[in-house]
Amino acid sequence: MADAAYLTNHGIDYIVTLVDTTDELKYVAWGTGATGAAVTDSAMETAAAPTNETAGTGSLAKATTTTDDDTLQVTHTITAGGSLTITEVGVFNQATLSGAICAFHGTFTGIAVSSGDSIAFTLKTVFDQAA
């Protein structure tokens, strides 16, 4: 028998369910920063209105990508009040960005929006055994 130790698919399901049950990592902010996201990030680079101080309340759910309940998914739509070029999005554990934990940070090629335009974001984290 080969030596082996894995977090099982059920173990991943358990962790995803644990986070989903807390229903905390669902607050979404967008921004206009110019620096690429890094695993050491602790905040948005430049959070932008209407989420410059307070993130919007999104929806957190677990989903299935490869194995049952291996995915955390946050969805939220933000509407611009003026002209912006959106380049970053983040997920936090509370609406008030000051002191919040930045759990997810993504950066991308700018999306130009004008007053009344909205972006519907779907942020997914798919866990696996990291072979």
Binding site for other proteins (CB under 8 A): 3-7, 11-12, 15, 18-19, 22, 24-25, 37, 39, 77, 89, 93-94, 101, 103-104, 106-109, 111, 113-130
Tokens, residue 90 = 């983040």
Q: Which residue lies nearer to other proteins by CB, 18 or 34?
A: 18
Q: Which is nearer to other proteins, 14 or 53 (CB)?
A: 14
Q: How far is the CB of 15 from other proteins (least distance, A)?
A: 7
Among residues 120, 84, 124, the alpha carbon closest in space to that of 103 is found at 124
Tracing tokens 């967008």 back to the chain, one arrives at: 30
Compute the least distance from the CB of residue 14 to other proteins, in Å.
Answer: 9
Shortest Cβ distance from residue 54 to other proteins (Å)?
16
Taking residue 88's Cβ as centre, other Cβ atoms within 10 Å add up to: 24
Distances (CA, A) of 3 to 6, 10, 11, 128: 10, 20, 19, 19
